[in-house]
Chains A and B, each alone.
Chain A
Amino acid sequence: MFKTFPKGGIHPPENKITADKSVIVLPLPSTVTVPLNQHIGAPATPVVEKGSAVKTGQLIAQAKGFVSANIHSPVSGKVSKIEPVADSTGYKQMSIIIDAEGDEWVETTDRSATLVKEITMTREQIVERCRDCGLVGLGGATFPTHIKMTVPSGKKCDMLIINGVECEPYLTSDHRLMIEKGPEVLTGVTIIMKALGVTQAVIGIEANKPDAISTLAGLSKEFAGISVVALKVKYPQGGEKQLIKACTGREVPSGGLPLDVGVVVQNVGTAFAVYEAVQKNKPLIERVVTVTGKSVSRPGNFLVRIGTPVTTLIEAAGGIPDDTGKVVNGGPMMGKALALTDVPVTKGTSGIILFPEPESRREEMMPCIRCGKCSSACAMGLEPWLLSVLSERAMFEKAETEKITDCMECGACAYTCPAKRPLLDYIRLGKTTVIKMVRERITK
């Protein structure tokens, strides 16, 4: 029996079309658009001007404040514009646009493929390097990595959990990374362990990736303190709290953080980026993105530079199929639908999914029949039907006592609803309002 989290969860069709497609390096784009806010927190401040010549890996925007991240040039060339450009959210935000002229890297980066296992840096140096290299969580939340590597005083951390679950259907970028870059990922894990001062790390991988489990389990024998745990396939197991519960049995308290139970969670993609940053001094300027969909002619996993237009990426996968009705940035459960494909790949882009027209529309909404399937599906033990109705009727105080802020917006409720009710839409509305309400109360 595989481990899993105890309550709720769903099993949507996996559709891992690209699971056995090796990562292909995408040719350099002719221009890149690099938004200044690709992470949670404050946008970075540009340190280059229009006309500046930049090298690949050169710092072009500096983190502003504590929760923020540096941004580096993904290509070498000339800054052509610094202006607001629509990103994947559809909103315009300040971006640096660079015309690529070749791929001349900064000298500090070691571009050789040799595996460097020995870790020479101290804890402080590791954290500093991750900050310098602009690392953010690559699972999708894009929280600056260096902050999660520092255990605040008064908190204790005794375990690192690495998220190799990739529970979203379709996506396979983490899966491929685990298979193709196993030693690098495990070295990255060891580096994070050192930074946190922990002696044990658990890599959680769902049982639908047996090759990744066996690869990493085999390799982990050479790395002290790292173990691999196979997890039952169940969405949303990649949710931080669910993953911790599945791997350790520990339960993060409502409103709390993993550190409250002595755990830090990082994504496998992040572990790989940590390896490259610490051992190779390589800033975060590229990532693996899955481009997939049932009608896509050449679906695959691509190593792309940040700032590459999604359109270019889709071209590499055979172009947009004629029947496309929706393009999603991220997974089908939590990703964002793109209004335009002419937006840049950012640090948080894990996949691009092209849905055929019939699948791109929601089905007709019917009345709630009180079947309770949403409550059974909710991994947080919430009652989505109730939260949805409370939000719909603007009963936000009640929604707060019913723990609406515990919702992680995984969408399992809306997925499972036989009446096709837009449960999560209403819950999001309620959650945002309640968070605003609570903030106002605190500042009063």
Chain B
Amino acid sequence: MNNILNVSPSPHQQSSETTRKLMFGVVIALLPALAAAVYYFGTGAIIVTLTSVLACVATEFLIQKYVLKTKTSISDGSAVVTGLLLAFNVPSNLPLFIIVIGAVISIGVAKMTFGGLGNNPFNPALVGRVFLLISFPVQMTSWPVPSGFKTGYTDAVTGATPLGIISEGVKNGESITALMDKVPSHMQLFYGYMGGSMGEIAAAALILGGIFMIWKKIITWHIPVAVLASAALFTGILWMADPTKYADPLFHLLTGGMMLGAIFMATDYVTSPMTPKGMIIYGTGIGVITVLIRTWGAYPEGVSFAILIMNALVPLLNMYIKPRRFGKEVRNG
């Protein structure tokens, strides 16, 4: 024998799954939605995505190298995911400097100040997005209408989102039935033919990514289903109570950040509960708060706020919602 034996406590084998592979899986799951964004918004989508990813990775690298003076961890892929998600949550014509500010807030403030990957209480991409929404309300709500590569990065024609049209119309006393003629059909919404943040529009592509992540066991069904089902139920009740005042549940599921939020933002490991029961409570909270904001709030859309609010409750959910301990209640008679 030529070598010294390694000795360590059991177990002596580990699964092939790694943080990097999980993050890479999320990136793959985001590709259909990215393709849809490029299809609908052209050059702008590519520029925004590249800027956001590069800015996020660079922020993490620079902070670790020059501020914290620790080993850099950009290769774990989490900054890439944050970068993609931040890009997905902004309009495709957003000026570059604003994207960079968003990336610095996402990674620098929401993630690194709390200790980096695994320690941040709030979803970094959403903190960045909400910061930008409050700081640059004009740029963040000028939504290009889908026109593919026909228009360039900044000269895109802008318009309101379907949720914006409905929200504004209801405030002016118009009936939903009339307003529905002003927004794309449900089928168009499903494929993503609408104004909005570049990555949130194509429900079909996002669902595809979600199915991929559940198949690859990157996420479980609990959070997306809880978010979508609770939102559908809540809006369904409102719609049945007064269909002239409230939009139908399917409209709500297919518009705004609902799909992106339910499938990709709310399922962020670090900022979501760790037990299935906790996940369902958390998801339901997001669905309900989103509908409350959409229906009675000042903003036409509320998924970001809903997720951030529920993020704050995650430590509590983890503390009080426990898995059933084996042999806890004896039921054997």
Task: Please report the C-alpha to C-alpha distance between residue A375 and residue B323 in the assembled complex, in whole angstroms.
Answer: 8
Smallest CB gap from A360: residue in B: B6
Instruction: Please state if B6 and A250 are interface contacts (CB–CB under 8 Å).
Output: no
Instruction: Please state if A370 and B269 are interface contacts (CB–CB under 8 Å).
Output: yes
Whether a CB of chain B sits under 8 angstroms from the CB of A7 is yes
Whether a CB of chain B sits under 8 angstroms from the CB of A383 is yes
Using a CB-CB cutoff of 8 Å, which residues 1-32 of chain A contact chain B?
A: 7, 10, 12-13
Using a CB-CB cutoff of 8 Å, which residues 243-301 of chain B contact chain A?
A: 269-270, 272-275
Smallest CB gap from B319: residue in A: A386
CB B14 to nearest CB in A, in angstroms, measures: 6
Provided the pairs A335-B10, A363-B18, A383-B274 are in contact, do residues A368 and B118 lie with their beta carbons within 8 angstroms? Answer: yes
Smallest CB gap from A336: residue in B: B10
Provided the pairs A251-B326, A383-B323 are in contact, do residues A411 and B6 lie with their beta carbons within 8 angstroms? Answer: no
Provided the pairs A10-B15, A332-B11, A369-B117 are in contact, do residues A381 and B6 lie with their beta carbons within 8 angstroms? Answer: no
Task: Please report the C-alpha to C-alpha distance between residue A174 and residue B119 in the assembled complex, in whole angstroms.
Answer: 45
Whether a CB of chain A sits under 8 angstroms from the CB of B188 is no
Return the contact of B9 from the options A368, A380, A416, A425 (Cβ within 8 A): A425
Return the contact of B17 from the options A324, A327, A416 (Cβ within 8 A): A416
Whether a CB of chain B sits under 8 angstroms from the CB of A101 is no
Whether a CB of chain A sits under 8 angstroms from the CB of B322 is yes
Using a CB-CB cutoff of 8 Å, which residues 190-229 of chain B contact chain A?
A: none
Whether a CB of chain B sits under 8 angstroms from the CB of A225 is no
Provided the pairs A251-B332, A337-B7 are in contact, do residues A415 and B13 lie with their beta carbons within 8 angstroms? Answer: yes
Using a CB-CB cutoff of 8 Å, which residues 1-47 of chain B contact chain A?
A: 1-3, 5-15, 17-19, 21-22
CB B23 to nearest CB in A, in angstroms, measures: 9
Stretch at the interface among A60-68, A252-260, A265-273: A252-260
Whether a CB of chain B sits under 8 angstroms from the CB of A135 is no
Whether a CB of chain B sits under 8 angstroms from the CB of A333 is yes
Provided the pairs A250-B332, A370-B270, A419-B19 are in contact, do residues A424 and B323 lie with their beta carbons within 8 angstroms? Answer: no
- A340 proximity list for chain B (CB < 8 A): 5
Indicate the size class of the contact surface on chain B.
35 or more
Task: Please report the C-alpha to C-alpha distance between residue A324 and residue B330 in the assembled complex, in whole angstroms.
Answer: 47
Smallest CB gap from B118: residue in A: A367
Using a CB-CB cutoff of 8 Å, which residues 62-107 of chain B contact chain A?
A: 73, 76, 78
Instruction: Please state if B5 and A7 are interface contacts (CB–CB under 8 Å).
Output: no
Whether a CB of chain B sits under 8 angstroms from the CB of A106 is no
Whether a CB of chain A sits under 8 angstroms from the CB of B171 is no
Return the contact of B6 from the options A332, A337, A419, A425 (Cβ within 8 A): A337
- B327 proximity list for chain A (CB < 8 A): 241, 251-256, 380, 406
Whether a CB of chain B sits under 8 angstroms from the CB of A359 is yes
Instruction: Please state if B5 and A324 are interface contacts (CB–CB under 8 Å).
Output: yes
Whether a CB of chain B sits under 8 angstroms from the CB of A151 is no
Task: Please report the C-alpha to C-alpha distance between residue A254 and residue B330 in the assembled complex, in whole angstroms.
Answer: 9
CB A407 to nearest CB in B, in angstroms, measures: 10
Identify the interface centre among B76, B78, B332: most chain A CB within 10 Å of its CB: B332
- A381 proximity list for chain B (CB < 8 A): 323-326, 328
Whether a CB of chain A sits under 8 angstroms from the CB of B116 is yes
Instruction: Please state if A409 and B10 are interface contacts (CB–CB under 8 Å).
Output: yes
- B330 proximity list for chain A (CB < 8 A): 251, 253, 256, 260
Whether a CB of chain B sits under 8 angstroms from the CB of A357 is yes
Whether a CB of chain B sits under 8 angstroms from the CB of A361 is yes
- B18 proximity list for chain A (CB < 8 A): 363, 366, 418-420
Would you list the 10 A-B pairs with minimal beta carbon distance, nearest first? A411-B11, A372-B274, A367-B118, A254-B327, A381-B325, A371-B269, A337-B7, A380-B326, A253-B330, A360-B6
A-B contact pairs, 12 of them (CB 8 A): A241-B326, A252-B327, A254-B326, A328-B12, A330-B10, A332-B13, A337-B10, A371-B22, A372-B274, A406-B326, A418-B22, A419-B18
7 further A-B pairs in the complex, CB-CB below 8 A; given A366-B76, A369-B270 = A254-B325, A256-B330, A335-B10, A369-B78, A414-B14, A419-B18, A420-B14
